[in-house]
Chains A and B, each alone.
Chain A
Amino acid sequence: MRVRIFVLLKEGVLDPQGNAIERSLHTLGYGEVQNVRAGKYLELNVDAPSRAVAELRVREMCDKLLANLVIEDYRFEISSES
Protein backbone atom coordinates (compact mmCIF):
# COMPACT_ATOMS: atom_id res chain seq x y z
CA MET A 1 0.00 0.00 0.00
CA ARG A 2 1.13 3.52 -0.76
CA VAL A 3 0.91 6.04 2.10
CA ARG A 4 0.96 9.80 1.68
CA ILE A 5 1.61 11.72 4.89
CA PHE A 6 1.12 15.45 5.41
CA VAL A 7 2.72 17.14 8.41
CA LEU A 8 1.77 20.75 9.20
CA LEU A 9 2.45 23.11 12.07
CA LYS A 10 -0.52 23.35 14.43
CA GLU A 11 -2.95 26.22 14.17
CA GLY A 12 -1.60 29.12 16.16
CA VAL A 13 2.04 28.00 16.02
CA LEU A 14 4.15 30.70 14.38
CA ASP A 15 5.17 29.64 10.87
CA PRO A 16 7.92 32.02 9.72
CA GLN A 17 8.51 30.01 6.53
CA GLY A 18 4.85 30.19 5.59
CA ASN A 19 4.85 33.94 6.29
CA ALA A 20 7.94 34.50 4.14
CA ILE A 21 6.42 32.51 1.27
CA GLU A 22 3.20 34.52 1.59
CA ARG A 23 5.13 37.79 1.40
CA SER A 24 6.98 36.57 -1.69
CA LEU A 25 3.72 35.62 -3.37
CA HIS A 26 2.31 39.05 -2.57
CA THR A 27 5.45 40.66 -4.04
CA LEU A 28 4.87 38.63 -7.21
CA GLY A 29 1.41 40.13 -7.48
CA TYR A 30 -0.64 37.30 -5.99
CA GLY A 31 -2.41 39.55 -3.53
CA GLU A 32 -5.27 37.08 -3.19
CA VAL A 33 -3.07 34.66 -1.22
CA GLN A 34 -3.66 34.32 2.52
CA ASN A 35 -2.67 32.05 5.39
CA VAL A 36 0.24 30.15 3.78
CA ARG A 37 1.46 27.22 5.89
CA ALA A 38 4.65 25.35 5.02
CA GLY A 39 4.85 21.70 6.04
CA LYS A 40 6.27 18.33 5.07
CA TYR A 41 5.03 15.72 2.67
CA LEU A 42 6.19 12.11 2.90
CA GLU A 43 5.41 9.08 0.76
CA LEU A 44 6.10 5.51 1.69
CA ASN A 45 5.10 1.93 0.95
CA VAL A 46 3.87 -0.36 3.69
CA ASP A 47 3.34 -4.05 3.64
CA ALA A 48 0.25 -4.79 5.71
CA PRO A 49 -2.45 -7.49 5.74
CA SER A 50 -5.23 -4.90 5.77
CA ARG A 51 -5.86 -1.21 5.48
CA ALA A 52 -6.81 -1.07 9.18
CA VAL A 53 -3.48 -2.56 10.22
CA ALA A 54 -1.63 -0.18 7.91
CA GLU A 55 -3.49 2.76 9.45
CA LEU A 56 -2.62 1.69 12.95
CA ARG A 57 1.04 1.27 12.06
CA VAL A 58 1.29 4.58 10.19
CA ARG A 59 -0.39 6.43 13.07
CA GLU A 60 2.24 4.95 15.39
CA MET A 61 5.06 6.03 13.05
CA CYS A 62 3.68 9.57 12.96
CA ASP A 63 3.25 9.78 16.73
CA LYS A 64 6.71 8.40 17.44
CA LEU A 65 8.88 9.98 14.76
CA LEU A 66 7.38 11.62 11.71
CA ALA A 67 5.57 14.44 13.54
CA ASN A 68 6.32 16.29 16.76
CA LEU A 69 2.93 16.56 18.39
CA VAL A 70 4.04 19.53 20.50
CA ILE A 71 4.07 21.70 17.37
CA GLU A 72 2.70 19.65 14.47
CA ASP A 73 -0.46 17.90 13.28
CA TYR A 74 -0.53 15.21 10.63
CA ARG A 75 -2.92 13.39 8.36
CA PHE A 76 -2.40 10.63 5.85
CA GLU A 77 -3.99 8.84 2.92
CA ILE A 78 -3.59 5.18 2.08
CA SER A 79 -4.09 3.84 -1.41
CA SER A 80 -3.80 0.27 -2.64
CA GLU A 81 -1.30 1.05 -5.46
CA SER A 82 2.37 0.80 -4.52
Chain B
Amino acid sequence: MRWGVITFPGSCDDQDVFDSLKLELRQKVKFLWHKDELAGNYDCIVLPGGFSYGDYLRCGAMARFSPIMQGVVKFARSGGLVLGICNGFQILCESGLLPGALMRNAGLQFVCQPVYLRTEETDTPFTGALKKGQLLKMPIKHGEGCYYADLQTLERLHKNRQILLRYVDAKGRPAAAANPNGSWENIAGICNEKRNVFGLMPHPEVACNRILGSDDGAKIFTSIAAACADRAKSHG
Protein backbone atom coordinates (compact mmCIF):
# COMPACT_ATOMS: atom_id res chain seq x y z
CA MET B 1 0.00 0.00 0.00
CA ARG B 2 1.08 3.59 -0.57
CA TRP B 3 0.90 6.38 1.98
CA GLY B 4 1.08 10.09 1.26
CA VAL B 5 1.93 12.60 3.98
CA ILE B 6 1.03 16.21 3.21
CA THR B 7 3.35 19.02 4.25
CA PHE B 8 1.59 22.35 4.72
CA PRO B 9 3.55 25.50 5.57
CA GLY B 10 3.78 25.16 9.35
CA SER B 11 3.27 21.40 9.54
CA CYS B 12 5.73 20.02 12.07
CA ASP B 13 4.79 16.37 12.56
CA ASP B 14 5.05 15.38 8.91
CA GLN B 15 8.57 13.99 9.39
CA ASP B 16 7.50 11.96 12.44
CA VAL B 17 4.60 10.40 10.51
CA PHE B 18 6.93 9.68 7.60
CA ASP B 19 9.62 8.11 9.82
CA SER B 20 7.21 6.01 11.84
CA LEU B 21 5.57 4.65 8.72
CA LYS B 22 8.85 3.99 6.91
CA LEU B 23 11.20 2.92 9.69
CA GLU B 24 8.92 1.35 12.27
CA LEU B 25 6.21 -0.07 10.03
CA ARG B 26 8.20 -0.59 6.81
CA GLN B 27 5.58 1.12 4.69
CA LYS B 28 5.91 2.85 1.31
CA VAL B 29 5.43 6.53 2.01
CA LYS B 30 5.90 9.79 0.13
CA PHE B 31 5.76 13.43 1.12
CA LEU B 32 3.19 15.55 -0.71
CA TRP B 33 3.58 19.31 -0.99
CA HIS B 34 0.48 21.39 -0.26
CA LYS B 35 0.87 23.45 -3.43
CA ASP B 36 0.88 20.43 -5.72
CA GLU B 37 -2.11 18.61 -7.06
CA LEU B 38 -2.82 15.21 -5.59
CA ALA B 39 -1.43 12.98 -8.34
CA GLY B 40 -0.56 9.31 -8.23
CA ASN B 41 -2.09 6.30 -6.57
CA TYR B 42 -2.37 6.42 -2.82
CA ASP B 43 -4.27 4.22 -0.40
CA CYS B 44 -4.10 6.56 2.56
CA ILE B 45 -3.41 10.29 2.79
CA VAL B 46 -2.23 11.64 6.15
CA LEU B 47 -2.72 15.27 7.21
CA PRO B 48 -0.14 15.68 9.99
CA GLY B 49 -0.05 17.85 13.07
CA GLY B 50 1.52 21.26 13.36
CA PHE B 51 0.50 24.86 12.91
CA SER B 52 -0.43 25.18 9.26
CA TYR B 53 -0.43 28.81 8.15
CA GLY B 54 0.55 29.77 11.69
CA ASP B 55 -2.94 28.81 12.91
CA TYR B 56 -3.95 32.28 11.70
CA LEU B 57 -7.67 33.12 11.76
CA ARG B 58 -8.60 29.61 13.00
CA CYS B 59 -6.63 26.36 13.13
CA GLY B 60 -6.89 24.71 9.74
CA ALA B 61 -8.97 27.51 8.20
CA MET B 62 -6.42 28.40 5.53
CA ALA B 63 -4.85 24.99 4.93
CA ARG B 64 -8.29 23.94 3.78
CA PHE B 65 -7.79 26.11 0.70
CA SER B 66 -4.34 24.75 -0.17
CA PRO B 67 -4.31 23.47 -3.76
CA ILE B 68 -3.82 19.85 -2.68
CA MET B 69 -6.99 19.87 -0.57
CA GLN B 70 -9.26 19.82 -3.62
CA GLY B 71 -7.67 16.51 -4.56
CA VAL B 72 -7.95 15.25 -0.97
CA VAL B 73 -11.69 16.04 -0.90
CA LYS B 74 -12.16 14.20 -4.21
CA PHE B 75 -10.04 11.29 -2.95
CA ALA B 76 -12.16 11.07 0.21
CA ARG B 77 -15.44 11.31 -1.73
CA SER B 78 -14.33 8.39 -3.89
CA GLY B 79 -13.67 6.26 -0.82
CA GLY B 80 -9.92 6.83 -0.28
CA LEU B 81 -8.67 6.68 3.30
CA VAL B 82 -7.81 10.01 4.92
CA LEU B 83 -6.26 10.32 8.38
CA GLY B 84 -6.00 13.71 10.09
CA ILE B 85 -3.88 14.00 13.22
CA CYS B 86 -4.19 17.05 15.49
CA ASN B 87 -3.90 20.02 13.10
CA GLY B 88 -4.88 17.52 10.39
CA PHE B 89 -8.10 16.81 12.32
CA GLN B 90 -8.74 20.56 12.51
CA ILE B 91 -8.22 20.88 8.74
CA LEU B 92 -10.64 18.00 8.06
CA CYS B 93 -13.32 19.70 10.20
CA GLU B 94 -12.74 23.07 8.52
CA SER B 95 -12.98 21.46 5.08
CA GLY B 96 -16.27 19.78 5.93
CA LEU B 97 -14.93 16.23 5.55
CA LEU B 98 -15.66 15.71 9.25
CA PRO B 99 -18.50 17.28 11.25
CA GLY B 100 -18.04 19.68 14.17
CA ALA B 101 -15.15 21.94 15.11
CA LEU B 102 -12.10 22.04 17.39
CA MET B 103 -11.96 24.99 19.74
CA ARG B 104 -9.63 26.51 22.29
CA ASN B 105 -8.99 24.08 25.18
CA ALA B 106 -11.47 24.71 27.99
CA GLY B 107 -8.54 25.29 30.39
CA LEU B 108 -6.99 27.77 27.91
CA GLN B 109 -3.59 26.07 28.35
CA PHE B 110 -1.60 24.21 25.72
CA VAL B 111 -1.58 20.60 26.94
CA CYS B 112 1.32 18.24 26.30
CA GLN B 113 0.96 14.91 28.08
CA PRO B 114 0.27 11.21 27.58
CA VAL B 115 -3.42 10.27 27.66
CA TYR B 116 -5.43 7.07 27.75
CA LEU B 117 -7.92 6.48 24.98
CA ARG B 118 -10.72 3.96 24.79
CA THR B 119 -11.51 2.29 21.48
CA GLU B 120 -15.24 2.83 20.93
CA GLU B 121 -15.77 1.29 17.51
CA THR B 122 -13.77 -1.25 15.57
CA ASP B 123 -15.66 -1.61 12.29
CA THR B 124 -13.54 1.03 10.53
CA PRO B 125 -10.32 0.80 8.54
CA PHE B 126 -8.60 2.85 11.26
CA THR B 127 -9.49 0.74 14.28
CA GLY B 128 -10.04 -2.70 12.74
CA ALA B 129 -7.00 -4.27 14.43
CA LEU B 130 -8.23 -3.13 17.86
CA LYS B 131 -10.78 -4.61 20.24
CA LYS B 132 -13.83 -2.70 21.40
CA GLY B 133 -12.96 -1.07 24.72
CA GLN B 134 -9.22 -1.52 24.18
CA LEU B 135 -7.13 1.13 25.95
CA LEU B 136 -4.43 2.99 24.05
CA LYS B 137 -1.76 5.27 25.46
CA MET B 138 -0.62 8.13 23.27
CA PRO B 139 0.54 11.71 23.74
CA ILE B 140 -1.47 14.81 23.00
CA LYS B 141 0.04 18.25 22.36
CA HIS B 142 -2.39 20.96 21.41
CA GLY B 143 -3.95 24.25 22.43
CA GLU B 144 -7.14 23.85 20.43
CA GLY B 145 -8.48 20.35 20.77
CA CYS B 146 -11.83 20.90 22.44
CA TYR B 147 -14.23 19.02 20.17
CA TYR B 148 -17.57 20.75 19.67
CA ALA B 149 -20.63 19.80 17.65
CA ASP B 150 -24.24 20.94 17.92
CA LEU B 151 -26.83 18.55 19.34
CA GLN B 152 -28.15 17.29 16.00
CA THR B 153 -24.61 16.53 14.88
CA LEU B 154 -23.87 14.72 18.15
CA GLU B 155 -27.02 12.65 17.67
CA ARG B 156 -25.87 11.70 14.20
CA LEU B 157 -22.42 10.79 15.54
CA HIS B 158 -24.09 8.45 18.03
CA LYS B 159 -26.54 6.97 15.59
CA ASN B 160 -23.88 6.18 13.01
CA ARG B 161 -21.32 5.18 15.67
CA GLN B 162 -18.77 7.72 14.41
CA ILE B 163 -17.06 8.34 17.75
CA LEU B 164 -14.00 6.10 17.56
CA LEU B 165 -11.87 7.26 20.50
CA ARG B 166 -12.61 8.84 23.88
CA TYR B 167 -10.31 10.26 26.55
CA VAL B 168 -10.51 8.00 29.59
CA ASP B 169 -8.68 7.42 32.88
CA ALA B 170 -6.28 4.53 33.45
CA LYS B 171 -9.26 2.30 34.24
CA GLY B 172 -11.00 3.11 30.99
CA ARG B 173 -13.68 5.41 32.40
CA PRO B 174 -14.52 8.59 30.45
CA ALA B 175 -14.31 10.70 33.61
CA ALA B 176 -14.34 14.49 33.58
CA ALA B 177 -10.86 14.49 35.12
CA ALA B 178 -9.59 12.43 32.18
CA ASN B 179 -10.80 15.03 29.69
CA PRO B 180 -7.73 17.15 28.90
CA ASN B 181 -9.35 19.87 26.83
CA GLY B 182 -13.08 20.06 27.52
CA SER B 183 -14.14 18.05 24.47
CA TRP B 184 -17.83 17.15 24.41
CA GLU B 185 -18.37 13.63 25.74
CA ASN B 186 -14.57 13.18 26.02
CA ILE B 187 -14.38 12.82 22.24
CA ALA B 188 -10.80 12.35 21.02
CA GLY B 189 -11.43 11.05 17.51
CA ILE B 190 -14.31 10.68 15.02
CA CYS B 191 -14.85 9.34 11.54
CA ASN B 192 -17.24 10.40 8.78
CA GLU B 193 -20.42 8.53 7.93
CA LYS B 194 -18.74 6.52 5.19
CA ARG B 195 -16.02 5.54 7.69
CA ASN B 196 -13.12 6.39 5.36
CA VAL B 197 -12.06 9.71 6.96
CA PHE B 198 -10.73 9.73 10.52
CA GLY B 199 -9.55 12.65 12.63
CA LEU B 200 -8.01 12.47 16.09
CA MET B 201 -6.21 14.89 18.39
CA PRO B 202 -3.73 12.38 19.93
CA HIS B 203 -0.53 11.54 18.06
CA PRO B 204 -0.19 7.88 17.01
CA GLU B 205 2.98 8.69 15.06
CA VAL B 206 4.99 9.39 18.21
CA ALA B 207 3.71 6.25 19.91
CA CYS B 208 5.11 3.62 17.53
CA ASN B 209 8.01 2.33 19.62
CA ARG B 210 8.11 1.32 23.27
CA ILE B 211 11.30 3.28 23.69
CA LEU B 212 9.08 6.37 23.35
CA GLY B 213 6.72 5.19 26.08
CA SER B 214 4.15 3.37 23.96
CA ASP B 215 3.69 1.59 20.67
CA ASP B 216 -0.10 1.80 20.76
CA GLY B 217 -0.13 4.38 17.98
CA ALA B 218 1.28 1.80 15.59
CA LYS B 219 -1.99 -0.14 15.98
CA ILE B 220 -3.85 2.64 14.16
CA PHE B 221 -1.40 2.45 11.25
CA THR B 222 -1.40 -1.37 11.16
CA SER B 223 -5.23 -1.31 11.17
CA ILE B 224 -5.11 0.91 8.08
CA ALA B 225 -2.52 -1.29 6.38
CA ALA B 226 -4.58 -4.43 7.08
CA ALA B 227 -7.76 -2.77 5.76
CA CYS B 228 -5.95 -1.77 2.57
CA ALA B 229 -4.58 -5.30 2.13
CA ASP B 230 -8.16 -6.62 2.47
CA ARG B 231 -9.43 -4.06 -0.03
CA ALA B 232 -6.69 -5.03 -2.50
CA LYS B 233 -7.62 -8.72 -2.15
CA SER B 234 -11.33 -8.17 -2.63
CA HIS B 235 -10.64 -6.01 -5.70
CA GLY B 236 -8.65 -8.95 -7.06
Q: Contacts of B94 on A, CB cut-off 8 Å?
A: 68
B9 in the interface, Cβ–Cβ < 8 Å?
Answer: no
Shortest C-beta distance, A14 to chain B (Å), equals 7
Question: Is residue A20 contacting chain B, with contact meaning CB distance below 8 A?
Answer: yes
Complex CA gap A20/B148 in Å reads 19
A45 at the B interface (CB under 8 A) = no
Interface residues of A in 57-82 (CB under 8 A from B): 65-66, 68, 70-71
Interface members, chain B 135-178 (any A CB < 8 Å): 146, 148-150
Is there a chain B Cβ closer than 8 Å to A13's Cβ? yes
B residues near A16, Cβ cutoff 8 Å: 104-108, 182
In the assembled complex, the CB of A23 is this many whole angstroms from the nearest CB of chain B, namely 11
- List the count of A-B residue pairs having beta carbons below 8 Å apart: 36
Inter-chain contacts of B182 with A (CB < 8 A):
14, 16
Chain B positions within 8 Å of A66 at CB level: 57
Could you tell me if A65 and B149 are in contact, using CB atoms closer than 8 angstroms?
Answer: no
Q: How far in angstroms is the closest Cβ of chain B from A40?
A: 8
Overall SS of chain B's interface:
loop
Minimal Cβ-Cβ distance residue in A for B150: A70
- Interface residues on chain B, size class: 20 to 34
The answer to whether B57 touches A70, judged by C-beta atoms less than 8 angstroms apart, is no
Decide if A34 is an interface residue (CB 8 Å cutoff).
no
Residues of A within 8 A of B57 (CB): 40, 65-66
Residues in A lying within 8 Å of B, measured CB to CB: 13-14, 16-17, 20, 40, 65-66, 68, 70-71
20 A-B pairs whose Cβ atoms sit less than 8 Å apart in the complex: A13-B103, A13-B148, A14-B146, A14-B182, A16-B105, A16-B107, A17-B104, A17-B108, A40-B57, A65-B65, A66-B57, A68-B58, A68-B101, A70-B93, A70-B101, A70-B148, A70-B149, A71-B101, A71-B103, A71-B148
